[in-house]
Amino acid sequence: MSNLTKILQKNFDVSYYQHLIVAGELADCMNSKVYLVGGAVRDVLLGKSVNDIDLVVVGDSEDFANQLASRLGGEITARSQFLTAKISFSDFSIDVASARRDYYSYPGSLPQVNLGLKQ
């Protein structure tokens, strides 16, 4: 067991940690990659408890989120044109985004998004 695995187990609620395991297994099944990002990474490294999960998937975030929600018993409660989805549970949520490149045609504009990494 790696040091990072121990840190994750210590700072994640058991059910949250299991959700990460399932997300990783799903990415393997889809021949893709998934990454933990955002505040959860910061909190884990600082030894703080984690209370939300943000994931970036290489590929189709909508398909990944649909399959993950099905496996975990969650519900897709939000989708956006920015290649993101939110999976909601009774006590927390998982935000899923595709790895992407954003282009802004002018400051303050909404981004044009394109998948950013190849599988």
Beta strand pairing call for 100-103 and 84-88:
unpaired
Taking the C-alpha atoms of residue 7 and residue 71, their distance in angstroms, rounded to an integer, is 25
Report if pTM > 0.95. Answer: no
Taking the C-alpha atoms of residue 76 and residue 89, their distance in angstroms, rounded to an integer, is 9
Report which of residues 84 and 96 the model is more confident about.
Answer: 96
In this structure, what are the phi and psi dihedrals at residue 46, rounded to the nearest 5 degrees?
-90, 0
Mean pLDDT, residues 22-32 taken together: 96
Instruction: Give the CATH number of the domain where residue 20 resides.
Output: 3.30.460.10
| pLDDT tens digits along 48-86 | 878 789 999 998 899 999 999 999 999 998 887 778 899
> What is the residue range of 74's domain?
3-115
Count: domains in the chain: 1
Cβ count near 89 (within 10 Å): 16
